[in-house]
Structure 1
């Protein structure tokens, strides 16, 4: 059976995860399956600070991106919308923040 054509960023990855990076920051990591997937995910015309800002409703200037080609990894960090474990915090461990990133449709080829 042939493998399905990837349609989302998550389809290119072994894992897409998010976690808190202290009480004030969220970090997300894309562990891409191979160099081809990394090439797509690391393409600054597709996945960039503006894309992340739109997905998460945050200021583009607050987004930090780290592309690590030797590991086929893209790491993204941004300030949490509310501090960890505060009254309005709905995800203490930031474990669900990765979902919009994982379901991001790939650019048309």
Structure 2
């Protein structure tokens, strides 16, 4: 009898790189890169990367979230508005370099 692993895996475990950066003083962009089509296709098909999830994670409205699935590059690009403009009082990550971290633990249900 063979067993199939149906436990969800994390985005951080499936992606080769996840990085975040400024997209101007009012937006953050997150890039998620995959090594192979299998991992990219599994995450893209799962629907786990969606405006509602990003909005809940980063405190923005779902209609403000932009998501681009780029199969040829095996990449997913997510952009959302900063809750605090870059460099203003209260900005704790001026370059938005640490904003990708919460995405690493997102569980991805795999078939």
TM-score between the two structures when normalised by the length of structure 2: 0.87
Question: Aligned pair in 2 of structure 1 residues 107, 6: CA closer, same or farther (>3 Å)?
Answer: closer
Shift of 1:7: 2.0
Aligned residue pairs total 105
2:83 to 73, 81, 84: 81
Shift of 1:40: 2.2
Assess if the C-alpha contact under 8 Å between 1:40 and 1:46 holds in 2: no
Is residue 2:105 matched to residue 1:103?
yes
Aligned CA RMSD, in angstroms, stands at 1.7
Shift of 1:18: 0.3
Is residue 2:45 matched to residue 1:43?
yes
1:30 to 24, 29, 32: 32
Q: Which moved further from structure 2: 86-95 or 42-51?
A: 42-51
Provide the rounded CA distance (Å) in 2 between the counterparts of 1:16 and 1:50. Answer: 19
Provide the rounded CA distance (Å) in 1 between the counterparts of 2:110 and 2:80. Answer: 27
Q: Over residues 23-52 of structure 1, what are the superposed CA-to-partner deviations in whole Å (9 max), with x where a residue is unaligned?
A: 000000000121111112222632111111
Question: What stretches of structure 1 of length at least 5 have no aligned partner?
Answer: none
Shift of 1:108: 5.4
